[in-house]
Amino acid sequence: MTAALQAQGLGKKYGRRWALTDCTLDVPAGRVVGLVGPNGAGKSTLLNLAVGMLTPTTGSIEVLGSPAGSSQLARIGFVAQDTPTYARLSIADHLKLGASLNPAWDKTLATDRIESLGLNPKQRAGRLSGGQRAQLALTLGIAKRPELLILDEPVAALDPLARREFLQDLMEAVAEHELSVVLSSHLVSDVERSCDYLVVLVDSRVQIAGDIDTLLATHYRLVGPRRDEKSLPHNQHVIAASHTDRQSTVLIRTDEPILDPAWTVTQLTLEDVVLAYMGRSSPSKQNDRPVLEVQR
Amino acid sequence: MMWLTWRQFRLQALVIGAAVALIVVFLLATGPGLQDEYQLAHEGFLSRISFDQINEYLYIVGQAAVYAAPPVIGAFWGAPLIARELEMGTHRLVWTQSISRTRWLVTKLLCTGLAAIALTGLLSLAVTWWADPIDDALNHGDFNGVFNLPRLLPPVFGARGVAPIGYAAFAFALGVAVGLVTRRSVVAIAITLAAVIAIQIATPMFLRPHLMTPLQASVIVTAENMRGLQLSGPETNPEVMRIEARLEGVGEGFWKISENTVNAAGQVQKTLPDWVVNCIPPPPGGPTGEGKIQAKTAQVSPTVTACFQRLADEGYRQQISYHPASRFWDLQWRETGVFLILALALSGFSLWRIRRDLT
């Protein structure tokens, strides 16, 4: 199976500032991949590199098995951040734009989608609500019939309801057309709702990548009498730990059952897992970000 | 891509296209009348057509429109072409469809650039055709009112023939490149407007005289052909700085580039000898009005004659460099060529720049 995205030592510099440094990641194809990370982690830069809007300063990036660039454009659907559309052009104009710029354009798909969304094709894009505009941008991305659909924070500007509708709609379209999807977001809840694979990117580094179900099944919170987390068995990898005078709370990843009866073991939500990994990346901040307690 | 280019361009195209069409219609309607009038009799043609004020208006409006077209096209067609996409973020939509940015820009440059050339060319050729009898009369020494400059002279030259096509192509390509660099429509529009107007002003001063080697003429100043003297110092004891002579025998409508007084050794004189003040014709006799000037200049005083004689005897000559009227089209094509090459170079820059990072 070829990878949807594959980066090797990828770096991008704007002037003197590095937006992305030494990023190595492997995103499988045929999945709906959520790329999460705090603002400024380099998510947008990474996705813009993938569609060829940017060229790498260092390293390389491959999309669907070939180097990213303008020759790959027809194979990738891209919904850019803030879902830009031409305010003065109507919805019908946008579909015509898609038809004239994409050889594999699926006209019926596009018109059917607009119809099922209840949009008037004569309406100007500038008059659409944020959610409708995002839907229009998604329609352009899907009707192009790409192999890979990349969405850069597509729902960041939407209200919760529009957000949910958009993601639901995206999932239906993905299921119907068997697309690979990479979707970035700084909200775990978006990803949890729509994705089956998760990549956590913090400071250009992949903190963890994996199947969401597997992630949830292998992470636990252990609460028990105070003890040093270094005394845990070697197959239990400590992600985060905090201690009060009498009690220790440890967040671990393990594939084995937890046998120690001193611990109270609880399952984690995806948000807990993501926040734990995000917190781990910056050791200096660990003290003032007691990740575990804050969740309850 | 053609469809999208047209869809985004049609409003701007229609606005400028309609303005050009309006002017062209007026010119087409009145042009044949002018030509018939000129055919009828060359004598006094310009004073005859001055009676009908529409001719003067059209002469001025046509000329102004040809000069206005390049900066307007550069600012309103060229500058927003890429800048607006970058500003609105729509470049991220359109450059991630299946065609490359290079193809997107090539199509846009070709379609809009050719429209700029076609429209400016149409306007300029209509103006040139309409003004042809007037320019011809001016080249034969006739002049009257607003019709007072032959077409080779800077204020008219740039509004005739093919030169405006070069300006328009250049202004458009400049606007696109400036928009790509500044990424702000309004900034790009302002810079393009200012730059194109500045270049329109600078071209006749710094570029056009050098497109061909000017011809040289050596003229002895006489009381008859002297056009004027430049004096400095107190009124009672003035010093002659410069003297200018009329260039004769090369026809009308030539364009004088420079005029210097040289001595017998051929050295350019910064100031003239003291005695040249004697060449100043005596002021017309009292406040008797203009009618008498003609009579006065006819009979030149002996001191003035002696002064001019001395100038000639001591070998002072007026060294005049000029382009004759016959070089009009040669200069037109060369200037057009220069600006078309500049337009291609700027387009090349834009095509290079757009392939680099733009987010």
Long-range pairs for A104-112: beta carbons < 8 A, 24 or more residues apart:
A104/A74, A104/A144, A104/A145, A104/B98, A105/A143, A105/A144, A105/A145, A106/A143, A106/A144, A106/A145, A107/A143, A109/A142, A109/A143, A109/A145, A110/A139, A110/A140, A110/A143
For chain B, where are the alpha helices, taking DSSP H only?
Answer: 2-40, 45-50, 53-73, 79-88, 91-94, 101-138, 154-157, 163-182, 185-202, 291-298, 302-313, 328-354
Say what the alpha-carbon torsion angle A220, A223, A226, A229 is, to the nearest 10 degrees: 0
Chain A residues whose C-beta sits inside 8 Å of any chain B C-beta: 48, 51-55, 70, 73-74, 76, 78, 80-82, 84-87, 89, 93, 96-98, 100-104, 137, 140, 144
Which of A54, A70, A84 lies closest to B93 in CB terms? A84
Helix, strand or coil for residue B88? helix
Contact A22, A10 (CB under 8 A): yes
Distance from C-alpha of A30 to C-alpha of B317, rounded to nearest angstrom: 90
| Of B89, B356, B358, Cβ closest to residue A82 | B89
**What is the tens place of the pLDDT at every residue in A34-74?**
999 888 888 999 999 999 899 999 999 999 988 888 888 99
Residue B119 near residue B225 (C-beta atoms within 8 A): no
- The per-residue pLDDT for B231 is 77
Residue A291 to residues A37, A250, A277, B41, Cα–Cα distance (Å): 15, 11, 10, 99
Q: Domain extents for chain A?
A: 3-203, 214-294
Q: Report whether B17 contacts B72 (CB < 8 A).
A: no
Sign of CA dihedral B150, B154, B158, B162: positive
- Selecting from A84, A86, A103 the residue whose C-beta is nearest the C-beta of B98 gives A103
pLDDT-derived band at A115, boundaries 50, 70, 90: very high
Structural Rg of chain B based on CA atoms: 26
Domain map (residue ranges) of chain B? 2-212+327-354, 215-281+300-325
Cα–Cα dist A157/B208, whole Å: 56
Q: Does residue B94 sit at the A interface (CB-CB below 8 Å)?
A: yes
Residue A52 to chain B, least CA–CA distance (Å): 8
Question: Looking at residue A288, what is its pLDDT?
Answer: 41
Q: Tell me the torsion sign for CA atoms A128, A132, A137, A143.
A: negative
Distance CA B330, CA A217 (A): 84
pLDDT of residue B284: 57
Cross-chain Cβ contact A53/B358 below 8 Å: yes
Nearest to A42 by CA among A65, A73, A66, A11: A11
Task: Return the residue of B nearest to A104 by Cα.
Answer: B98
pLDDT of residue B293: 44
Distance from CA of B94 to the nearest CA of A (A): 8
Tell me A258's DSSP state: P
CA distance B112 to chain A (A): 18
CATH of the domain spanning A3-203, picked from 3.90.660.20, 3.10.25.10, 3.40.50.2300, 3.40.50.300: 3.40.50.300
A277 Cα to chain B: minimum distance (Å): 29
Between vectors from CA A286 to CA A282 and to CA A292, what angle results, nearest 5°?
120
Local confidence pLDDT in tens for the 359 residues of chain B = 888 999 999 999 999 999 999 999 999 999 998 999 888 888 888 888 888 888 888 999 999 999 999 999 999 999 999 999 999 999 999 999 999 999 999 999 999 999 999 999 999 999 999 999 999 988 888 888 888 888 999 999 999 999 999 999 999 999 999 999 999 999 999 999 999 999 999 999 999 999 999 998 888 887 778 787 777 777 777 777 778 888 887 888 889 888 888 888 778 877 777 777 777 776 655 444 444 444 445 566 777 788 888 888 888 888 889 999 999 999 999 999 999 999 999 999 999 999 888 76
Task: Return the residue in B87, B92, B183, B356 with the most chain A beta carbons within 10 A, the one to mutate for interface testing.
Answer: B92
> Which H/E stretch holds residue B242?
strand B239-245
- Chain B CB contacts of A102 under 8 Å are 97-98
- pTM here? 0.88
Please judge whether A76 and B102 are an interchain contact, meaning their C-beta atoms are less than 8 angstroms apart. no
Side chain identity at residue A66, one-letter code: S
Encoded tokens for A63: 């999309």
CA A225 – CA B102 distance, rounded (Å): 65
Asked whether the beta carbons of A155 and A163 are under 8 A apart, the reply is: yes
Q: How confident is the model at residue A281 (pLDDT cuts 50, 70, 90)?
A: low
How distant is the Cα of A126 from the closest Cα of chain B, in angstroms? Answer: 11
**What percentage of chain A carries pLDDT values higher than 90?**
38
**How confident is the model over A128-182, as pLDDT tens digits?**
998 899 999 999 999 999 999 999 998 888 888 888 888 888 888 888 888 899 9
- The closest CB to that of B97, out of A73, A81, A84, belongs to A73
Contact indicator for A215, A267 with CB cutoff of 8 Å: no
Burial (CB count <10 Å: 0-12, 13-18, 19+), residue A226? exposed
Average pLDDT along chain A: 86
A100 and B96 in contact by Cβ < 8 A? no
Q: Which among A55, A96, A102 has the least Cβ separation from residue B3?
A: A96
| Chain A hits for B96, Cβ within 8 Å | 51-53, 73, 76, 78, 80
DSSP 8-state symbol, A73: G
